[in-house]
């Protein structure tokens, strides 16, 4: 069985993976920074980072540093026609968040751990107002 290259996956599959990878990153970072918070408060805090609005805000902090292939993946994710719609976000925020998640999924599947850590760390720092 041969494995696809990261760039060969559809943008929505990349976003599916990226959503999981980024949420895990956020949860671990919050627990590390606030080890004594109860689980409910940890969850409430995580929402501030993983919501479509927060991820859309994060994109602005990383766009300028994206390499050509990364920008291409982000744009493919942002422009993908999703069968689901934004529930608690504007369509613009939802699409930008999908692009961000696609980028995270791409970097994860590509195995570029250093670049992934850099992107997620900057995004995390810029997610909240």
DSSP-assigned letters across all residues of 68-100: HHHHHHHHHHHH---SS--SSS-HHHHHHHHHH
Q: Is 36 helix (H, G, I), strand (E, B) or coil?
A: coil
Among the listed residues 102, 117, 113, the one whose alpha carbon sits nearest the alpha carbon of residue 28: 117
Q: Is 107 helix (H, G, I), strand (E, B) or coil?
A: helix
25-57 pLDDT per residue, tens: 999 999 999 999 999 999 999 999 999 999 999
90-125 pLDDT per residue, tens: 888 889 999 999 999 999 999 999 999 999 999 999
Catalytic residue among 8, 19, 69, 112: 19
40's tokens: 């409910």
129's tokens: 């107002």
Domains of the chain: 8-125 (1.10.1520.10)
pLDDT confidence tier of residue 129, bands split at 50, 70 and 90? low
Instruction: Give the separation between CA 117 and CA 78, rounded to whole angstroms.
Output: 21
55-99 pLDDT per residue, tens: 999 998 999 999 999 999 999 999 988 777 667 778 888 899 999
- Asked if 19 is an active-site residue, the reply is yes
Per-residue model confidence (pLDDT) at position 1: 44
């Amino acid at each position: 069985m041969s494995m696809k290259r990261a760039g060969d996956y559809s943008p929505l599959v990349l976003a599916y993976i990226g959503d999981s990878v980024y949420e895990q990153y956020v949860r671990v970072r919050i627990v590390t920074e606030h080890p004594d918070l109860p689980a409910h408060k940890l969850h409430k805090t995580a929402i501030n980072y993983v919501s479509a609005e927060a991820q859309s805000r994060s994109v602005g902090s990383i766009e300028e540093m994206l390499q050509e292939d990364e920008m291409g993946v982000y744009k493919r994710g942002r422009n993908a026609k999703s069968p689901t719609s934004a529930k608690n976000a504007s369509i613009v925020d939802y699409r930008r968040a999908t692009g961000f998640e696609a980028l995270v999924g791409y970097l994860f599947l590509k195995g570029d751990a250093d670049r992934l850590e850099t992107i997620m760390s900057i995004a995390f720092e810029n997610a909240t107002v």
